[in-house]
Structure 1
């Protein structure tokens, strides 16, 4: 009697959840039902327990092929067992389910341990060393903290090793001060060169009872009063037609057009002039949007109106009014070209007037996102049909927004948060402003200068300048010196091409040419990027010869940047020379902008002073001889000129006198070193220099207070100023810069002076 034929069990191909619910499974990983039910795991189990029948026709070759396929699938997808294929599911041998599940758990544990260490674009084998799995494991950082009464607490984040080249002080990568973190391009990173010196200074001649401390407190009290007087009362914030006389307004507008607008295109000049003329000719109510735009133009122009910034009070009030109007909760109605123009003008106006100038990077980020929300990052040719005017204005504004983002990133030490893949908007085309009103206009040839030519030439260097800002300030930036040298070479190449282009415009015998201001501003910007690349290695370069090239670049570029805002005087110093320099400042808009304004140009000039002071200190320390040290005359001249320059800034409305005080101390220190004086005598002379500098500055601050009490120095302009509880942001870069300057003055007190006393 033969046994009845056994009934073959079908291989389970559904996941456990679908099998339990008795629903159809699409056999994916995870399956559609598990996705809909948000099931954490979608598990497939092969529950065949009976061995395959001998008459199934399964050959050893087929069985081996299935085994190889299963192993390969398990390696590529370790979290899930391989699914059986329809052709072999009914005849394949059943794997060991328990062993497979144990293997899955082991692989998942290993995967969880290494996935957080792998970069998105590269997955190294799990058997590699942990150092290779972590791209930052070779970067050893530590934090050095210093606290002073003058500027608070600083946390300097150093990288101890770089490319195998050791440096005992480390390479500064960022600085934390109060509530902010500054990247490598921020000037404050130079403070790492002077840690430990501020306490020495305070203990020697900044005791609570000294005349120097009393003088500083008196000047600080007057400075607070001046800031309160300049801050408009809340009732005067709405935009009202409180314009200066037409003659003054005309001058301010021309000042703006020949400075900021000649490099960064924001306005359509014919349209602006037409609306401006209608404003004075019409008796109807003023358009509020244009009034806000006009006041920002006037505020920027006021910074180069004269050498004293006599319209500072009105300029600050206009900035406050524009900021208040822009902050109104009319969000959707403000998504237009005019609002973008006002936002850009407000960034420049805040820098020139000193209203939160060190926070413009935050506002620039908001402006960037607004522009992207409006589609300015997409080229107009890819959007619905627009007029030539609308398309080119969108290209121009996007180009200026890009410049604002990368420039504020460099100034603030914050990451640009932008990449070249975020936009495809083409550079502006070479149209003059008058051509934009005709849709059939043809752009001028590349070699012909128009009002947009400087912006187009500068745009060609934007990709590399953006790369420099990201290289220095992006999160986890640990740029090697080889990368620094590569970027330096590329930057010099595009710089030469840019100079060739602009010189071609300047030498043209036909048509207009770039203004002197535009050429010097472009040169200033490119030098600043070169300087920022090498400043992180400037401190190590003072002790490690491998970075000597960076030391040379920093010193020479600092000199060139300083000469851009304060050209060297010829002849001996005296009254005639000073008067000649005052007249030159009146003729040079960039020099006026650096003296009267705040922000980019002023900050870079002071940073150049700081770096030159570091170089002078190092030259003194390197002069290992019995004779007085021989210092570079051009560097000494910069320190001497910087005293007069900072004093001009105070006369123009700067309220912080510590910069002038410490520059006086610097000069005194150098003179004392040249005479070979001892430590006690040098400290006495430093104290006298500090006291004398305060005696010079105090009357200037008293005069500013008196002018504010009388209604300001704005001739013919209603001020409507009040004294609110708070004032303009109290943290200014000069406060902390003083600490760096003070540190630059006296580092030789413990080294060089000790050596000379021993000799």
Structure 2
């Protein structure tokens, strides 16, 4: 509490003939001040506060009644710790906290001062204080921020409490995009200025320059403001707040983009990172499917129904009956088993550490010497490793049926009693291997986010989220195996979150397990008395080089995944750019580290790029369509195109550099392994190339449409030829996938329709005729796919008209409707006003181009 200064007390300041109207900061720097609050000079200098010196004068004589009221108001106001006076960008954050009745009464005591200051004040960002002025008002916080802050009680708002105070809300964004997000149908969330903003400005506007006559109440307020500034300064030092934390506006009070954060497919919700969110930009193809659904008597529809029946027959034959499941009864020959194990160790195990290779090989040799003495857990582990290795065995995945058999043997072992007995390191290894086999053999690979949740909770229940030093004393072998498994489980959790579009449900604060040491497996000995081996130098290549380099980027990738998949996260574009910049730096550092080791294989380099660079799709795909109308967002359009080109090159879909237009072919055994993985595998090994193909196809379509509008080419011929070559290679790639066992022809139809769309634009086909053009292009290719599926199914096909068996769809990967249309809910896909063009976007994208 600050008492009024006595008239007899000597003043510490030199008396002036006229009052100082400039703010203290401008007077100290001896520069001109415009006397606003805050003044433009303080705004440009990024000062945290802009303050004015109080000019104390003797209070005028008043009647006893009036004086009593003034004294009572002064005491009442002095007893309350007022809200701090804030700069313009910061004071508006206090709109989150309702103004108390006391401060309202104080503000009402100087109505002329508040009115004058509000008229003179112009916000440095929006340039106006009129809340009714369109596009210039301060926006209401977007949903996640406003909800969290609305729960704060006004009674608990105290300047001494820094938890959640807007003044100390950190925002590391360095972008300057603070105006309206876009024009047209893409609008910021509720761009209206809250009434609380006016109250805040009125409270903080009382300065000597705006008060015709200063009363004792105003003088007390100004003195207490100075006291509060000192308190805030002390608290800032105490709590370690940085200056940029104070001066930068909170993300929730900048403009947020409004776009779809996910789509619905039957009973499932796909978040922003799910690849189907990129498909909603192909709106003409969606319109084609919408109208085609009602023409069930057409030749194309009938052919698609035949393909659907064949797909169900093939999947039914691959699924073993539970009565025939018996562990270890479907073991291949020793020669084939050796090849499959080697395939797994040199590919997946070199990136995701699950087993201890020397121990596994020793048990593997013992198994072939005496199979009856092997434990069930080791047999399951060995079969799962062979199933993953079968993906790289040949280009037709001839061992797919064995891989599926081994998966269900592991599942049967896992669910049989007693479940607690499976909570071991071997049990966790089996769960991790089952995850990767689901991805490669296409066994419910779109449901892996669910099983990954059970996996990480099992690991935490076993204490893997705590570093071994924090639990009990154990051998270096056991400690390092726990650390390696934890890193692999974290990676599985993150990747499945990106695949499904679901939140990762894990944070960096949830574990304290240390990073595994840079050790070769031979340095770890399963001996309780052994000492911890000396780790290799970081520049020395070991079996942990690639996993450690990938894990260094985990925190950055986790932050990006949380941003895109947690629906309460903000949609401020500056934050998107900041996350994109951090991700780019992190991945560049990772690639530099890996390329510095000659022993790192081409498979490892291509695989880690598949894992990580697809996050740029999740960040920018929903924003890229805005670049068609607003050049501010051109960076997002460029990022998705560049990412698509990079990943298509990684997947051997780009033309070689000879200029002949031929597609790059794998040249080394390591490249052959990855090429086979993209053809035989499922999950993101399939969806990432499709994302790239859709992105590049849409870019070429946009280019052709711009050419038709403008009359000149907006892309040089070399880039156009490259895009055409990739689409042509995508057609061959999707056909090869059907030959290797793919039962869904929608992916093949996608490449056909994209090429047909481009040809239609070049031939000048009108919009009302383009759908007929699509149908003609698909008819011949669907018949070709039917012949391929017949060869894949083999003999003893069910005759046409015979009822199909009720087969449980184990894939669940958009397979329930193998036809082009399925049972899509077109009613939920009405135009919501926010889309690729000014009229096209859909909340729910149909399952048109899955698999």
| TM-score, normalising length: structure 2 | 0.64
Aligned partners of 2:712, 2:294: CA distance in 1, in Å?
Answer: 31
Which 5+ residue runs of structure 1 have no aligned equivalent?
1-67, 76-114, 141-155, 507-512, 711-721, 752-759
For the 8 Å contact 2:308–2:819, the answer to whether it is kept is no
Aligned partners of 1:322, 1:157: CA distance in 2, in Å?
Answer: 51
1:240 aligns with 2:328: yes
For the 8 Å contact 2:502–2:565, the answer to whether it is kept is yes
Mark the CA change 1:258 to 1:736 in structure 2 (over 3 Å): closer, same or farther.
same
Aligned partners of 1:281, 1:618: CA distance in 2, in Å?
Answer: 63
Deviation for aligned residue 1:204: 6.2
1:619 matched residue in structure 2: 703
Aligned partners of 2:334, 2:660: CA distance in 1, in Å?
Answer: 40
1:589 aligns with 2:673: yes
2:445 matched residue in structure 1: 357
Deviation for aligned residue 1:601: 1.7
Aligned partners of 1:635, 1:281: CA distance in 2, in Å?
Answer: 55
1:501 aligned to which of 590, 593, 601: 593
After superposition, residues 179-190 of structure 1 pair within 5 angstroms as 179-190=267-278
2:649 matched residue in structure 1: 563
Aligned partners of 1:202, 1:414: CA distance in 2, in Å?
Answer: 28
Indicate the larger mover: 670-679 or 179-188. 670-679
After superposition, residues 642-657 of structure 1 pair within 5 angstroms as 642-657=730-745
For the 8 Å contact 1:354–1:597, the answer to whether it is kept is yes
1:517 matched residue in structure 2: 603
1:732 matched residue in structure 2: 814
1:281 aligns with 2:363: no
1:530 matched residue in structure 2: 616
1:105 matched residue in structure 2: none
Mark the CA change 1:634 to 1:573 in structure 2 (over 3 Å): closer, same or farther.
closer
For the 8 Å contact 1:628–1:675, the answer to whether it is kept is no
For the 8 Å contact 2:388–2:437, the answer to whether it is kept is yes
Q: Deviations over 1:292-331 (max 9, x none)?
A: 1111111111111100000011111111111121122322
Mark the CA change 1:596 to 1:542 in structure 2 (over 3 Å): closer, same or farther.
same
Deviation for aligned residue 1:546: 1.4
Aligned partners of 2:394, 2:378: CA distance in 1, in Å?
Answer: 25
SS at match of 1:505: coil
SS at match of 1:303: helix
After superposition, residues 118-129 of structure 1 pair within 5 angstroms as 119=149
Deviation for aligned residue 1:386: 0.5
Which 5+ residue runs of structure 2 have no aligned equivalent?
1-74, 83-144, 159-165, 170-177, 181-185, 192-251, 799-803, 830-835, 841-851
For the 8 Å contact 2:745–2:818, the answer to whether it is kept is no
Aligned partners of 2:536, 2:689: CA distance in 1, in Å?
Answer: 37
For the 8 Å contact 2:260–2:622, the answer to whether it is kept is yes
SS at match of 1:181: strand
After superposition, residues 197-596 of structure 1 pair within 5 angstroms as 198-203=286-291, 207-437=295-525, 438-506=530-598, 513-570=599-656, 581=665, 587-596=671-680
For the 8 Å contact 1:561–1:605, the answer to whether it is kept is yes
Q: Deviations over 1:553-597 (max 9, x none)?
A: 0001011111111242446889xx68x948879952222111101
Mark the CA change 1:206 to 1:626 in structure 2 (over 3 Å): closer, same or farther.
farther
For the 8 Å contact 2:279–2:694, the answer to whether it is kept is no
Deviation for aligned residue 1:126: 8.2
Indicate the larger mover: 686-695 or 445-454. 686-695
Aligned partners of 2:626, 2:821: CA distance in 1, in Å?
Answer: 20
Q: Deviations over 1:426-484 (max 9, x none)?
A: 11001110110153521111111100111111111111111111111124123311111
For the 8 Å contact 2:256–2:570, the answer to whether it is kept is no
Mark the CA change 1:222 to 1:197 in structure 2 (over 3 Å): closer, same or farther.
closer
Q: Deviations over 1:248-291 (max 9, x none)?
A: 11111111111111111000000111111111111534311111
2:691 matched residue in structure 1: 607
Deviation for aligned residue 1:730: 4.1
Aligned partners of 1:465, 1:282: CA distance in 2, in Å?
Answer: 46
1:109 matched residue in structure 2: none
Aligned partners of 1:365, 1:555: CA distance in 2, in Å?
Answer: 32
Mark the CA change 1:445 to 1:658 in structure 2 (over 3 Å): closer, same or farther.
same
After superposition, residues 123-138 of structure 1 pair within 5 angstroms as none
Q: Deviations over 1:593-614 (max 9, x none)?
A: 1110101221111111112222
Aligned partners of 1:74, 1:560: CA distance in 2, in Å?
Answer: 58
For the 8 Å contact 2:254–2:572, the answer to whether it is kept is no
Aligned partners of 1:602, 1:689: CA distance in 2, in Å?
Answer: 24
After superposition, residues 48-127 of structure 1 pair within 5 angstroms as 119=149
Deviation for aligned residue 1:157: 14
Deviation for aligned residue 1:635: 1.7
1:673 aligns with 2:765: no
For the 8 Å contact 1:232–1:723, the answer to whether it is kept is no
For the 8 Å contact 2:255–2:572, the answer to whether it is kept is no
For the 8 Å contact 1:158–1:173, the answer to whether it is kept is no
SS at match of 2:372: coil
Aligned partners of 2:795, 2:546: CA distance in 1, in Å?
Answer: 40
For the 8 Å contact 2:261–2:567, the answer to whether it is kept is no
Mark the CA change 1:494 to 1:680 in structure 2 (over 3 Å): closer, same or farther.
closer
Aligned partners of 1:529, 1:548: CA distance in 2, in Å?
Answer: 18
Aligned partners of 1:173, 1:495: CA distance in 2, in Å?
Answer: 25
SS at match of 1:536: coil
Deviation for aligned residue 1:195: 5.1
Aligned partners of 1:478, 1:733: CA distance in 2, in Å?
Answer: 34
Deviation for aligned residue 1:182: 1.6
Deviation for aligned residue 1:240: 3.0
Aligned partners of 1:679, 1:481: CA distance in 2, in Å?
Answer: 34
1:634 matched residue in structure 2: 722
For the 8 Å contact 1:241–1:291, the answer to whether it is kept is no
Mark the CA change 1:271 to 1:724 in structure 2 (over 3 Å): closer, same or farther.
farther
1:706 aligned to which of 768, 773, 794: 794
2:161 matched residue in structure 1: none
2:129 matched residue in structure 1: none
| TM-score, normalising length: structure 1 | 0.72
Aligned partners of 1:737, 1:358: CA distance in 2, in Å?
Answer: 18
Mark the CA change 1:665 to 1:194 in structure 2 (over 3 Å): closer, same or farther.
closer
For the 8 Å contact 1:302–1:312, the answer to whether it is kept is yes
Deviation for aligned residue 1:688: 2.5
Indicate the larger mover: 461-470 or 322-331. 322-331
Q: Deviations over 1:8-41 (max 9, x none)?
A: xxxxxxxxxxxxxxxxxxxxxxxxxxxxxxxxxx
Aligned partners of 1:733, 1:612: CA distance in 2, in Å?
Answer: 25
Q: What's the Cα RMSD here?
A: 4.1
Q: Deviations over 1:130-176 (max 9, x none)?
A: xx9xx9xx9x9xxxxxxxxxxxxxxx999787987698xx4121222
Deviation for aligned residue 1:73: 12
Indicate the larger mover: 382-391 or 175-184. 175-184
SS at match of 1:454: helix
